[in-house]
């Protein structure tokens, strides 16, 4: 079984400033940990690539892309939280393109153990016509549209376990019955959306707001009782995960109580779903996670579960 990652040093180039939580150091810590533990040598490394214009316009409006390119090539802000530097545009475009490359790897590239894209900036708060919440381009949306278009798959499921609701992803797909979106998130919390009553135009959304303090048991129970049955009913051809690690008990941007073992447990369940219903087609994309050590350890656990080593 082949489990792959996509990483490139270009992902360190986006720099929103020394005090911003979405810093290059979070990704450096992940790669250092994978190297030091020997896990990196056991994974297949695939090349990053920039997104093609058509892959971006399948999700984002032309006007927004033009504005984002200008700000992300010269420095500026999309909102108070989303600060860009001179390298932000090419970094974000490569993150989005690498998400598509991961879809290609699991559909046509012989990767049968899933592919994790270790990129930044994150994406799930980016709407079709605006960025927000540290996010410039919606990586999981770009990948999903490519899966259903370029790669000819019929149905997709997106599971978002970032501690913040993926409001951009939900808005992009709320009227697309081919895409089932699931979000488990702290509530109340930023961005304030994701009520359980938000089910989408075609009942293609499952929002699971969880109270502060929720940990491994609450998340795994939600998976077993709600997420897994919903994914089975949708019967997707590919599963994509907005894999945020800011629900970890050590993370400074949440009040949740997940551990590295909890993330591995969710990954084990997603992997089994992908193997059973999707021919093993599984893509994970890094979203949040702002405690470098906790995020690195949790991603190592995720990768081991993808490799079938979770116990």
User: Residue 146 — pLDDT band, cuts 50, 70, 90?
Assistant: very high
Q: Which residues have C-beta within 8 Å of that of residue 26, sequence separation ≥ 6?
A: 120, 289, 290, 292, 295
Question: What is the b/e burial string over 190-220, where b = at least 16 CB atoms within 10 angstroms of the residue's CB?
Answer: beebbeeebebeeebbbbbbbeeebbbebbb
Q: Is 73 inside a domain boundary?
A: yes
pLDDT value, residue 85: 97
Cβ 163 vs Cβ 209: under 8 Å: no
For residue 116, what are the β-bridge partners? 5, 284
Whether the predicted pLDDT of 311 surpasses 60 = no
Which strand (E) or helix (H) includes residue 159?
strand 156-160
Q: Is 247 inside a domain boundary?
A: yes
Q: Is 226 inside a domain boundary?
A: yes
Which of 147, 15, 140, 146 is CA-nearest to residue 90?
Answer: 15
Q: Is 311 inside a domain boundary?
A: no
* CATH label of the domain that carries residue 287: 3.40.800.20
| Tokens describing residue 152 | 């000819």
For residue 158, what are the β-bridge partners? 181, 240
Q: Is 274 inside a domain boundary?
A: yes
User: Residue 205 — pLDDT band, cuts 50, 70, 90?
Assistant: very high
Q: Which residues have C-beta within 8 Å of that of residue 154, sequence separation ≥ 6?
A: 148, 178, 237
Whole-number Å distance between alpha carbons of 88 and 95: 10
Whether the predicted pLDDT of 37 surpasses 90 = yes
Whether the predicted pLDDT of 36 surpasses 60 = yes
Whole-number Å distance between alpha carbons of 1 and 129: 39
| Tokens describing residue 172 | 């992009």
Domain count, the chain: 1
pLDDT value, residue 293: 98
Q: Is 149 inside a domain boundary?
A: yes
* Boundaries of domain holding 298: 4-306
pLDDT value, residue 45: 98
Q: Is 285 inside a domain boundary?
A: yes
- What is the mean pLDDT of the segment spanning 38-52? 98
Whether the predicted pLDDT of 28 surpasses 80 = yes
Any idea which residues carry the catalytic annotation? 125
Tell me the chain's radius of gyration from C-alpha atoms. 17
Which strand (E) or helix (H) includes residue 277?
helix 260-277
Specify the residue for token string 């929103």: 16
Q: Is 42 inside a domain boundary?
A: yes
- What is the mean pLDDT of the segment spanning 60-70? 98
User: Residue 1 — pLDDT band, cuts 50, 70, 90?
Assistant: confident
178, with CB counted inside 10 A (0-12, 13-18, 19+), is: middle
| Mean pLDDT, the chain, integer | 97
pLDDT tens per residue, range 206-228: 999 999 999 999 999 999 999 99
Rounded to the nearest angstrom, the gap between the alpha carbon of residue 241 and the centroid of all alpha carbons in its chain is 5
């Amino acid at each position: 079984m082949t489990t792959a990652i996509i990483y490139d040093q270009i992902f360190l180039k986006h720099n929103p400033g020394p005090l911003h939580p979405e810093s290059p150091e979070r990704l450096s810590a992940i790669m250092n940990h994978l190297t030091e533990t020997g896990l990196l040598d056991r994974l297949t490394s695939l090349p990053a690539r920039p997104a093609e214009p058509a892959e971006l316009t399948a999700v984002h409006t032309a006007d927004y892309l033009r504005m984002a390119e200008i700000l992300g090539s010269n420095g500026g802000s999309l909102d108070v939280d989303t600060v860009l530097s001179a390298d932000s545009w090419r970094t974000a475009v490569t993150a989005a393109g690498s998400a598509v490359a991961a879809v290609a790897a699991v559909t046509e590239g012989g990767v049968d153990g899933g592919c994790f894209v270790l990129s930044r900036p994150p994406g799930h708060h980016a709407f079709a016509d605006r960025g927000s919440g540290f996010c410039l381009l919606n990586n999981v949306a770009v990948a999903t549209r490519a899966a259903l278009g370029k790669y000819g798959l019929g149905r997709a499921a997106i599971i978002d376990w970032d501690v913040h609701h993926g409001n951009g992803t939900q808005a992009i797909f709320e009227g697309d019955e081919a895409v089932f979106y699931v979000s488990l998130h702290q509530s109340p919390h930023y961005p304030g959306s994701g009520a359980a009553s938000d089910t989408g135009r075609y009942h293609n959304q499952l929002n699971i707001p969880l109270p502060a303090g929720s940990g491994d048991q609450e998340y795994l129970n939600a998976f077993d009782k709600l997420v897994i049955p919903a994914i089975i009913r949708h019967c997707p051809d590919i599963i994509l995960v907005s894999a945020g690690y800011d629900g970890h008990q050590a993370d400074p941007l949440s009040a949740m109580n997940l551990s590295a073992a909890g993330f591995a447990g969710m990954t084990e369940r997603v992997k089994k779903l992908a193997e059973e219903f999707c021919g093993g087609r599984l893509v994970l994309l890094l979203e949040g996670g702002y405690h470098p050590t906790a995020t690195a350890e949790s991603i190592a656990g995720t990768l081991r579960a993808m490799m079938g080593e979770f116990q």
